[in-house]
A and B are shown apart, each in its own frame.
With several copies, the nearest count.
Chain A
Amino acid sequence: MSVRGLRVIEIINKIADDIEKNKMYLTELDAAIGDGDHGLNMSKGFLAVKEKLKDDDGNNIGDILKKTGMALVSNVGGASGPLYGTAFMKAAMVVNGKKEIEIEDFKQVLEAALEGIKIRGKAKLNEKTIIDALEPAVEALKNALDNGSNAEEALKKAVNAAETGVEHTKDIIATKGRASYLGERSIGHQDPGAASCLLILKTIYNEISC
């Protein structure tokens, strides 16, 4: 595939737009098992990201992702700010200095992001968090690439895996984040963070595949 810096910025802007469109949806998911602000938080964060990337020349993708992460950390607050922020900042490290990235780079980006979220959130799979979308996606992407899929196919599989992961969050009890206070009552509801993660992956797939 090979994606250049300015295109990365475009994709991030597209993510911001999709988050904006799904603001109320994400917020409603959070209202059911959290404090009803996940969409608001994410929208606020990505608005700041857009602003921060406005004048970026696209010459260093690491820089783009770092700015994204820092804008999220500095503007979101709540749980999702440090989590997504750390994800982008960790991802930035693996592509630092690069002008363009391949699907192999993206695989590492996603791995680093997952690693960052796990460390920051002290969480693992099946705790009803972002990880339940992201980890299956990373696994699927890796498998697909190992099995010779091309970028588009591999991304499609990642999105599908994330989708299944999000569905699965309905069946499990939250043990991290605000939803964990609900105990059994969290069952039956989708995790908002997993949902926003799926949204981001979908946007990336759509942008790459079209």
Chain B
Amino acid sequence: MKKLINNPENVVEEMLDGLTLAYPEYLRKLDGFHVLVRKSSPISGKVALVSGGGSGHEPAHGGYVGKGMLDGAVAGDVFTSPTPDPIYEAVKAVDGGAGVLLIVKNYTGDVMNFEMAKDMAEMEGINIDYVIVNDDVAVENSTFTAGRRGIAGTVFVHKIAGAKAELGANLMEVKETAQKVIENVRSMGMALTSCIVPAAGKPNFTLEENEMEIGMGIHGEPGTHKENIQTANEVAEQLVNKILEDMCLNKGVEVAVMINGLASTPLMELYIVNKRVNEILTEKGIKIYRTFVGEFMTSLEMAGCSVSILKLDDELKDLLDESADTPAFKV
């Protein structure tokens, strides 16, 4: 395990400190909790957005705290949902009277811990609601299972619901917008290498030099299957096709595209993947309104990428274009 860390037990604390020290104009950390909130929180009269989850996905979620996106981000241990207490503290710190929307990625742990925090906040009389992001098409959707995971598409939820809240919408409206994004965003990922949770010290799955993992999660969970490694074009095709199987995109429809690096894959490769993704969609008559290439929702030092496609309407386009000013995402 070759990492630039000091002690596996302190990575989350030190990372949050380092992030806060880098961007004090955006963020502050709640004393005693792994929670980052906007420097100016609470913002009176604005619906506040809180997200979070396990750490190891940086810049998610602390990097998205700022104008036009999140009000608070709760960091669990690496790849482990935070407990209800810090979520509850985050909610109290950012609530400016207009209520709080929790944006939760669909993992059993996250859902249960955020639900418990929501119950606690409700008992305090805070107007609070939540949405669950489940954009990962690698996992078959079924009412009999835990359902799909939330992955990089979550960043679109932060961006667009964040813009809606910034414009003064009420909690119900912000939730509806978030829900609309969730219904219209799909993602699919692949990995070239595994990653090592600092406290564990060894990788959760391993890949041979000629193997790649398809549909793996962003928590070191193994994916749906292994395959021989392919070219960037073949990978792009496989990811996009899996998304399009699940999503009805007619000719002329407009979409936003996110090519997300899992950490070790350089931008050069993400740009190459984007070229093919762009071609495939364009060939199908799908219009690409906006593209984001970078590292938005990573998985420690994993190599690989995910593709997210968000189907847009006029409202979503406008909200996507609204300014956002956070450490890791600016529009």
Contact = CB atoms under 8 A, between A and B. Distances in A.
Interface string B284-313: 000000000000000000000000000000
Interface string B74-106: 001101111111000000000000000000000
A192 interface: no
A82 interface: yes
B63 to A, nearest CB: 20
Interface residues of B, number: 37
Contacts of A41: 80
Contacts of B199: 37, 40
Interface stretch (A2-10, A93-101, A180-188, A198-206): A180-188
A183 B224 contact: yes
Interface string B192-215: 000001011000110000000000
Contacts of B220: 35-36
Interface size class of A (residues with CB under 8 A): 20 to 34
A175 interface: yes
B164 interface: no
Contacts of A175: 142, 144-146
Given A82-B109, A120-B112, A178-B107, A74 B85 contact: yes
Contacts of A180: 139, 145-146
Main secondary structure of the interface of A (DSSP, over half): helix
Nearest to A178: B221
Contacts of A140: none
Contacts of A83: 112
A206 B114 CA distance: 36
B222 A73 contact: no
A178 B140 CA distance: 13
B37 interface: no
Interface of A: 27, 31, 33-37, 40-41, 73-83, 120-121, 174-178, 180-183, 185
9 contacts: A35-B217, A40-B199, A77-B76, A77-B109, A78-B76, A82-B109, A175-B142, A175-B146, A181-B217
